[in-house]
Amino acid sequence: MMADDHVIFHQGVRKLLEGDNDISIVGEAANGNECVAMMAKLRPDIVLLDLNMPVKNGLAVLEELDFDSLSSRVIVLTAAEDDRDAVRAMRLGARGIVLKQSASDLLVKSIHCVYGGEIWLDNRITAEVMNAFAKSSDGGARRDKPLLTDREKQVVLLIAQGQRNKEIGESLFISEQTVKNHLHNIFDKLGVSDRLELALYAIHHRLTEHT
């Protein structure tokens, strides 16, 4: 599903996506309110969400969504040079950030990657997000080689794949509360403060390998 009010850009993206046999456009919204309503009705796999929309902007849309009950994954489209909005969007639940000025093939690739459970950020945004998290941390030391248990490594892997607590519990045959307990211990060991930071930290330090 697409949510963007810029007609020329919108048409260009539609033409691009229609050329991919694995992608079907199920809905198009021109403002934030339409986006929220259509997501609830259509429940698309992927939503391309423009941050700068009328009536309700992309950040306000993300704030309103309940990702615990919504299976859709959101990729934010932005032309802004200020990375603070991108950081906020990821904290609010977006799974990817694509700069509108990026090459068109990157947009298609981002859709496939996020659909597969990955996080998508270009190199510049990744660096800015990691830097923002580092600045906002309490300054505690992080372990380059954290002493995670095998179960904790499994949880980290599933977090990096975009699974929610309930899904992780079902995958590992443990309760949702046990998942939360593991996450509390993992956050403490790694010095991270939320799921996104954990996922980025895990990918950056290759904690998802050999688990």
Residue 22 pLDDT grade (very low, low, confident, very high; cuts 50, 70, 90): very high
Taking residues 151-173, what's their average pLDDT? 87
Q: Is 37 helix (H, G, I), strand (E, B) or coil?
A: helix
Nearest-10 crossing angle of helices 165-172, 176-190: 110
Residue 116: what pLDDT? Answer: 86
**Sign of the four-CA dihedral 66, 67, 70, 72:** positive
- Looking at residue 183, its pLDDT comes to 93
How far the first Cα of the chain sits from its last, in Å, is 34
210 three-state secondary structure: coil
Q: Which residue has the higher pLDDT, 86 or 156?
A: 156
Q: Two tokens at 135? A: 């600045």
The amino acid occupying position 172 is: L
Q: Give the H or E element holding residue 7.
A: helix 7-18
Per-residue pLDDT at 138: 47
High-pLDDT (> 70) share of the chain, %:
83
Question: Does pTM top 0.85 for this prediction?
Answer: no
